[in-house]
Structure 1
């Protein structure tokens, strides 16, 4: 009975946004302090970073961007329908920055009111979004009401690379060309591409590529002059339009539905 009551309370908390009096706007802007702008040889990639998922990884990416470490680095390992890897100062696997390695941030504690949208519920857990980044979580809350959650490696999700030791994240980052959920809870998720997934998918393939593409300039959006910032809006996951999108995709996919079936729309600011 106590477990049922906890789950019922959790449901009420997670659904609270839908019951609020003022409807959420359909579109939202990006937080300049947590948006990464990557100009590559194939075009621009914009990443919404999520410190709720991996605060130390986000802080490291910002630091390296501001130090200029990422500027000019190659996409040194690119596997079709899987990942684009970059971020190693030596342009190959195993290179690191001058900063210490990071601890693993493979999962995190999700406060019920921090989930912006719930996409599915099952006996073994829930899936949903924080911002544009998908997650999966336990259905059963911890004593403090939080859920044990992890980023879901869908297309466009960005992760922190590492060696065999889980505590060896440092500077390498990777971009998912397609979903690969086997990476869940094995690599730290720190955000998702909200513009430029087509760029991610056109980066030259190879291990290493014969003619590799590169990150030309990597900057935190807050550091850019207003005139140079991406004029971009993302669909608000708390909006009625996003709820309708989830319902539409779930109806189309039926029993095969996955959180990775939902692409979060973005648009140029009107």
Structure 2
């Protein structure tokens, strides 16, 4: 496993193929990092599907309202919801949307991020300054690359569990 320098700001996502380890960037986007940790600690991300996976672009997940594969999972509504918590305001930075970075999914309003996020499959610099970057995959990008494609995928992959490394 990759060396975890800051367990309180490291997320471990268990996928069927193996773990994905994400280093959060609290110095860049503290509110987004806090939200991800809060939802992970509450078990909100467990069993949530990747509802939008576009080859060469990104894998999107985190719809804690509609993406749970054990409670009323519905591909038609997956991707339309968030948590019961208030939205998180944009925390744009100069960090580029490079391969392996984590971005906050949102609606047309820059301040509408909530629980959904995406992992970039490739450098997607056209997103720079428009979506908050708040983490980076430090191990397991091969598992991200293996996520089933589709909008939505016919049989989507899911996050089996999501934990803060300090709690694992």
TM-score normalized with structure 1 length: 0.56
Q: Which residue of 1 aligns with 2:131?
A: 187
Larger Rg computed on CA atoms:
1
Equivalent residue runs for 1:14-163 within 5 Å: 29-89=4-64, 90-91=66-67, 92-107=78-93, 150-163=94-107
Question: Does structure 2 retain, via aligned residues, the 8 Å contact 1:106–1:187?
Answer: yes
Equivalent residue runs for 1:236-247 within 5 Å: none
Question: Does structure 1 retain, via aligned residues, the 8 Å contact 2:4–2:10?
Answer: no
Worse overlay, 180-189 or 28-37: 28-37
Question: Does structure 1 retain, via aligned residues, the 8 Å contact 2:40–2:162?
Answer: yes
Question: Does structure 1 retain, via aligned residues, the 8 Å contact 2:99–2:120?
Answer: yes
Unaligned runs of 5+ in 1: 1-26, 108-149, 225-270
Question: 1:41 Cα shift?
Answer: 2.0
RMSD: 1.2
Q: Which runs of 4+ in 1 moved over 6 A?
A: none
Question: Does structure 1 retain, via aligned residues, the 8 Å contact 2:28–2:91?
Answer: yes
Aligned match for 1:209, one of 150, 153, 162: 153
Question: 1:42 Cα shift?
Answer: 2.6
Question: Does structure 2 retain, via aligned residues, the 8 Å contact 1:42–1:213?
Answer: no
Q: Larger relative contact order (C-alpha < 8 A, sep ≥ 6)?
A: 2
3-state SS of 1:74 partner: strand
Q: Distance in 2 between matches of 1:29 and 1:198?
A: 18
3-state SS of 1:168 partner: coil
Question: 1:94 Cα shift?
Answer: 2.0
Q: Distance in 1 between matches of 2:119 and 2:90?
A: 18
Question: Does structure 2 retain, via aligned residues, the 8 Å contact 1:38–1:215?
Answer: yes
Q: Which residue of 2 aligns with 1:197?
A: 141
Number of corresponding residues: 156
Name the structure where helix makes up a greater proportion of residues. Answer: 1
Q: Which residue of 2 aligns with 1:260?
A: none
Q: Distance in 2 between matches of 1:86 and 1:218?
A: 12
3-state SS of 1:76 partner: strand
Q: Distance in 2 between matches of 1:168 and 1:182?
A: 19
Q: Which residue of 2 aligns with 1:257?
A: none
Question: Does structure 1 retain, via aligned residues, the 8 Å contact 2:102–2:134?
Answer: yes
Question: 1:178 Cα shift?
Answer: 0.8
Equivalent residue runs for 1:218-229 within 5 Å: 218-224=162-168
TM-score normalized with structure 2 length: 0.90
Q: Deviations over 1:68-111 (max 9, x none)?
A: 0000000000000110000002122221101000111112xxxx
Unaligned runs of 5+ in 2: 68-77
